[in-house]
Chains A and B, each alone.
Chain A
């Protein structure tokens, strides 16, 4: 196999895994919120970009390292999510058709966040980039891969594994899954549903922001990313099944690998139509998602 072909294949693999894991992480965040609280979060894309922008501010204006900035942003994100839950989200926990109401509310939040962006970051620059997280390049055969990308892949994989394990083995995780499946039964068994909801919202937000930070580490980004990411995250959640981390992982990886590899064999435009076709098929055949029990 020629060097050139190896280059293309290896790059397909790495890119696919990288994109796939980041997409999967964001989809997992949205999925947790929707599966548990029944909250379809239309503002997930804005939150995703917000994480990157805040990290940029910290690294650019205050000179912090990318890692320090990321931890700070995640902590701040947790606090913001808690405040949002306290003031807005909890008011609709009892509403019977709250998924529609939440969708409207988060559309409103999307407007507010994007309005704030348009008078701050949007005026400052049309593209943003974080400094290199880790210097240096590793070679996989003839293919040079920046260490930052390897780092992002590692962190994303760990995060998803942690989520999966936490939901399966940790007490709070099990409570979350109990509420996914049947809220009233869970309540009867002594689960404090409201605090599970709060946990789900904060966890979902922090996971989405982690996805945003990892994306910002690996790529440059601009504000148009918000909507694109939102739609992608929802699409992955639909196909994988709301509430299923495993589903988000598998579908995310498929997405990432197809996006990475398609231009080798077909036009990228056709690929986009192919995804949409696949999503429609899933919705028609198994609407609860491929991996939902």
Chain B
């Protein structure tokens, strides 16, 4: 009994010493992070938060920012714009965050855009590709992911380089993202001397693409651009392959790790676009470490979505350090002047006057897929472009 008593006293004393205000931790710098933790985009929202957490842990282990820990206050938008706005208000007024970030879904991002511009709250969008997020006149919103119309433009350039004068078929789901990509592709195709021989669009809720695959096969294209929504992308791909379209005729405008595994060994030889991938030539040691750590923690290599969120934390770190303090106006200024490289791949990060990043994309070719959650890809193309090289804000409203 006496032993327990002295142990008890020791514990109480230790906790009193521990809570000594003189030894208190510095106040964390708070940034609001409104992610899709439930709802249709659960997967992307959660993957993003996981990437973000890894970056935050590293940054704080190395001393944080301005000698204070960096804290992202995570709130669930439920992939619903009204919920996202409520969360934004909460974070803005109650938590008094210095900035917000978080959405991977474009419509949530667009809803928050209005709030951010109105409330003069710096808003860094990690991974939503809709061009309107940086329409002319934007002051407080910055977008890290290149815009979707630009992906279509770059895709045309890739095909042009691969086979000048090629005939292409485009087969895609009717979602805002795909429409934007196709708008960019169709704009650039004639300029790149490409011939679109077949264009098929599927409404939401489609289940089967065999007939359309047959139509595409009949059109005899050199390349088939495949962009389906969710699992439908896999369905289109498999059905094209079933009908005898060769894997190296298939190009996906974008592909992250889970998609590559979904396409599977059958698709070895297919091409896909990416912004960060373990197959890139430019992955830095820090990037390799990130991929490996993510793989160990979550059972699959990190893809570009997780990378954008990882990099978001680093961008805030840089910008806050430059701003020198937790002030929204200074942070906005610092973000607009950011000139750094992604720690994971050395790709430059720089925003134009509307908050759009100088854009880039890689194209890779699948080399092998091991169902045990590993794959190999080879980089075959890289391009950079200025956001307004094509009239992006006219092509998509």
Contacts and interface: CB of A to CB of B under 8 A. Distances in A.
Nearest to B45: A123
Contact of B262 (A129, A145, A260, A264): A129
Contact of A268 (B203, B210, B213): B203
A220 B218 contact: no
Interface stretch (B57-65, B231-239, B384-392): B231-239
B211 A15 contact: yes
Interface string A263-276: 11001110110000
Interface stretch (A35-43, A167-175, A202-210, A222-230): A222-230
Given A7-B218, A15-B210, A19-B207, A118 B38 contact: yes
Nearest to B264: A129
A263 B200 contact: yes
A255 to B, nearest CB: 11
B360 interface: no
A127 B211 contact: no
A219 B208 contact: yes
Mostly helix, strand, loop or mixed at chain A's interface? helix
A95 interface: no
A122 B38 CA distance: 8
Nearest to A131: B371
A125 B43 contact: yes
Interface in B215-239: 215, 217-218, 230-235, 238
A165 interface: no
A166 interface: no
Interface in A103-129: 115, 118, 122-129
B373 to A, nearest CB: 11
Nearest to A270: B203
Contacts, number: 108
Nearest to A232: B205
A19 B201 CA distance: 19
B271 interface: no
B346 interface: no
B303 to A, nearest CB: 11
Given A8-B215, A144-B244, A259 B230 contact: no
Interface string B192-210: 0000000011111111101
Contacts of B282: none
Contacts of B204: 228
A11 B213 contact: yes
Contacts of A11: 210-211, 213-214, 243
Nearest to B47: A123
B49 to A, nearest CB: 10
Contact of A123 (B43, B210, B232, B242): B43
A178 interface: no
A12 B207 contact: no
B44 to A, nearest CB: 7
B174 interface: yes
Contacts of A267: 201
Nearest to A115: B38
18 contacts: A4-B214, A8-B214, A11-B214, A19-B208, A123-B46, A125-B43, A126-B44, A126-B230, A127-B234, A129-B234, A144-B244, A220-B234, A221-B231, A224-B40, A228-B204, A259-B206, A263-B211, A263-B212
Given A127-B262, A263-B202, A263-B211, 11 more contacts: A7-B217, A8-B214, A11-B214, A124-B43, A125-B43, A144-B244, A146-B242, A220-B234, A220-B238, A260-B208, A263-B212
